[in-house]
């Protein structure tokens, strides 16, 4: 999966995800989903589709885990 | 290309206090609203640059370990006691004080202290997480459980006929005058979370500006105990819970509220001595003599001046450099109950103010005399009011019947029955205090009515003469 880093994108730390789905339903662009790979702690982590993120941070503010997700927004100039 | 990164701030990077293998994850269940709120509060502390000047009070409940996470000052307190501890920290320091409590902690066991702290307008920001259940202990009914909602302790659903109705904290607190800001928010979907974020930042902001009591109720999902998926729980909070607990602002006096500045308390010994009119005490009595302790018990009806007679004897001792203790014991009645006090006069430090074997008993009525007369030390003295009539003294004890009222009348000072007893004690010498000590005490006790000092001194002299003849 290639992420387009010229546009905003989420960085998900799969180890920290508890698979609660808050981010999945929060995303207005439906570009997050629950993956099919178990992490070390036994959860199916959320995944980014690789495109579609607009940097709204709805997923970040919906996520209860402090270290599970970051939003990166490229700055012009 | 440079990037702006939105990430968690104001919380520790990892949580080593938590123990276990997953030191970078919270202890909260998947989908729990606590984590969402932790991130929002952490961000506010970071953005307001108050992490080093903020104290977070963790409660008992799921968020008992809030101090694992918040990168600021932390105290974890007993169940429901956050308002008391927050009050103490807020009054003793200039820190931003934040309490974080759940519905069991705040609205049940801590309800009284919550209301009192709110009513005093304490400078604290309160985050009240309402998820309608006791989470940590396994989903028991909380004060905030909805009517009909099933929990492990109301398995058929909450029935108002037996369990009452949900408690509305924002509404209750809004009935008080002092709170500055009261609002209810929900951490469910992005729109609600964004709205909550603004309010959540306002609470510590108000404290940074010293503006007083700020209460934010946060409706939060507990998927585990509500036995639904995270998505369904959030939907339930939005669609069902907000009907019982409407979102919105209940009060915002932030703009008008001035900074609360309280007078500084002076707990210095000098200030307290002045306040209570006390003299000086010391490890070793100032007089330098070494004398055996003198123990005096004074007993009678409440209202007979028993306690004040005791303080006068203690003051007499103090005025000549004795160490003294004065220890009252009385019933709940203001007048008419039994009352006694124990006074110890010493040239050394006094260990306990309790007296078991007095050298001198002053009994103002018969029940007191009968109760204490057998406690008096052999060779001791009992002074009692002659109004009691015939009294049998224990062997080896000297009894002195004092017609207190009669003597006061004869001396032309009918209100001076107490001074008569005081004068007899002075004349007896049992206390080993010099005459001047008693005069000092008299002057001290009438310090606010100096016109009464000469008549009482005259009475003291009159009684001394009587005692020489009769005792």
pLDDT, tens digit, for every residue of B225-266?
999 999 999 999 999 999 999 999 999 999 999 999 888 888
Residues 6+ apart with CB under 8 A from B230: A20, A21, A22, B30, B31, B221, B223
Residues of chain A with Cβ-Cβ distance to B190 below 8 Å are: 26, 28, 56, 58, 61-62
In this predicted model, what pLDDT tens digit does every residue of B407-454 receive, in sequence order?
988 888 888 888 899 999 999 989 999 999 999 999 988 888 888 889
Distance from the Cα of A51 to chain B's closest Cα (Å) equals: 17
Q: Looking at the domain assignment, is residue A77 inside a domain?
A: no
Question: What distance in Å separates the CA atoms of residue A65 and residue B130, rounded to the nearest whole number?
Answer: 19
Q: List the single residue in B29, B190, B229 with the smallest CB-CB distance to A58.
A: B190
- Domain of A57, CATH number, reads 3.30.70.20
pTM: 0.76
Q: Looking at the domain assignment, is residue A1 inside a domain?
A: no
Q: Looking at the domain assignment, is residue A3 inside a domain?
A: no
The yes-or-no verdict on residue B353 having pLDDT over 70 is yes
Domain count, chain A: 1
Distance from the Cα of B12 to chain A's closest Cα (Å) equals: 9
Domain of A55?
9-72
User: pLDDT confidence of B279, banded at 50, 70, 90?
Assistant: low
Least-confidence region, from B193-197, B228-232, B368-372: B368-372
What single DSSP character describes residue B374?
G
CB B433 within 8 A of CB B316: yes
Per-residue pLDDT, B280: 56
Q: Looking at the domain assignment, is residue A18 inside a domain?
A: yes
Q: List the single residue in B6, B31, B189 with the smallest CB-CB distance to A64.
A: B31
Q: Looking at the domain assignment, is residue A44 inside a domain?
A: yes
Q: Looking at the domain assignment, is residue A14 inside a domain?
A: yes
In this predicted model, what pLDDT tens digit does every residue of A57-74 receive, in sequence order?
999 999 999 999 999 999
Q: Looking at the domain assignment, is residue A35 inside a domain?
A: yes
Q: Looking at the domain assignment, is residue A4 inside a domain?
A: no
Q: How many C-beta neighbours within 10 Å does residue B112 have?
A: 10
Neighbour order of strands in the sheet with B3-6: A9-12, A69-74, B3-6
Q: How many C-beta neighbours within 10 Å does residue B38 have?
A: 26
Residues of chain A with Cβ-Cβ distance to B1 below 8 Å are: 5-6, 74-75
B8 to A67: CB separation less than 8 angstroms, yes or no = yes
Q: What Å distances lie between residue B148 and B122, B156, B231, B289, CA to CA?
A: 36, 7, 21, 78
Question: What distance in Å separates the CA atoms of residue B123 and residue B439, rounded to the nearest whole number?
Answer: 50
Q: Give me the domains of chain B, ranges plus CATH numbers.
A: 16-252 (3.40.50.970), 273-470 (3.40.920.10)
Distance from the Cα of B17 to chain A's closest Cα (Å) equals: 16
What ipTM was estimated for this complex?
Answer: 0.97
């Amino acid at each position: 999966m290639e992420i387009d880093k010229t546009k905003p994108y989420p960085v998900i730390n799969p180890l920290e995800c508890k698979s609660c789905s808050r981010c999945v339903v929060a995303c207005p662009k439906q570009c997050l989903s629950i993956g099919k790979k178990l992490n070390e702690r036994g959860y199916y982590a959320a995944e980014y589709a690789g495109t579609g993120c607009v940097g709204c941070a709805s997923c970040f503010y919906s996520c209860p885990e402090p270290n599970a997700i970051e939003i990166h927004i490229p700055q012009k100039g | 290309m440079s990037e702006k990164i939105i990430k968690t701030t104001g919380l520790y990077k990892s949580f080593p206090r938590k123990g276990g293998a997953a030191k970078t994850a919270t202890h909260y269940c998947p989908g729990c609203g606590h984590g969402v709120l932790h991130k929002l509060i952490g961000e506010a502390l970071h953005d307001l640059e108050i992490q080093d000047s903020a104290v977070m009070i963790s409660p008992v409940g799921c968020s008992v370990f809030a101090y694992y996470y918040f990168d600021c000052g932390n105290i974890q307190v007993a169940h429901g006691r956050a308002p008391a501890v927050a009050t103490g920290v807020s009054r003793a320091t200039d820190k931003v004080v934040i309490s974080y409590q759940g519905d069991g902690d705040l609205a049940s066991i801590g309800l009284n202290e919550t209301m009192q702290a709110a009513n005093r307008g304490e400078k604290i920001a309160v985050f009240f997480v309402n998820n309608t259940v006791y989470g940590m202990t396994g989903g028991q009914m909380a004060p905030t459980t909805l009517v009909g909602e099933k929990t492990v302790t109301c398995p058929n659903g909450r029935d108002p006929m037996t369990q009452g109705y949900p408690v509305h904290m924002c509404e209750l607190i809004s009935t008080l005058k002092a709170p500055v800001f009261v609002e209810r928010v929900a951490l469910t979907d992005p729109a609600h979370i964004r709205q909550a974020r603004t309010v959540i930042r306002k609470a510590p902001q108000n404290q940074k500006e010293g503006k007083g009591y700020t209460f934010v109720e946060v409706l939060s999902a507990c998927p585990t105990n509500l036995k639904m998926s995270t998505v369904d729980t959030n939907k339930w909070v939005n669609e069902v819970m907000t009907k019982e607990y409407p979102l919105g602002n209940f009060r915002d006096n932030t703009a008008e509220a001035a900074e609360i500045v309280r007078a500084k308390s002076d707990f210095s010994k000098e200030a307290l001595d002045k306040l209570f009119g006390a003299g000086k005490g010391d490890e070793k009595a100032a007089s330098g003599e070494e004398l055996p302790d003198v123990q005096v018990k004074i007993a009678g009806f409440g209202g007979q001046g028993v306690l004040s007679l005791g303080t006068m004897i203690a003051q007499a001792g103090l005025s000549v450099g004795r160490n003294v203790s004065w220890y009252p014991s009385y019933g709940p009645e203001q007048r008419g109950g039994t009352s006694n006090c124990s006074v110890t006069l010493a040239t050394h430090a006094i260990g306990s103010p309790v007296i078991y074997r007095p050298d001198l008993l002053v009994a103002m009525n018969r029940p007191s005399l009968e109760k204490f007369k057998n406690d008096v030390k052999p060779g001791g003295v009992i002074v009692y009011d002659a109004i009691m009539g015939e009294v049998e003294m224990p062997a080896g004890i000297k009894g002195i019947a004092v017609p207190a009222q009669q003597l006061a009348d004869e001396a032309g000072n009918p209100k001076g029955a107490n001074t008569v007893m005081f004068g007899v004690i002075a004349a007896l010498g049992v206390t080993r205090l010099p005459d001047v000590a008693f005069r000092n005490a008299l002057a001290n006790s009438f310090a606010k009515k100096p016109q009464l000092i000469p008549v009482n001194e005259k009475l003291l002299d009159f009684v001394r003469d009587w005692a020489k003849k009769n005792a």
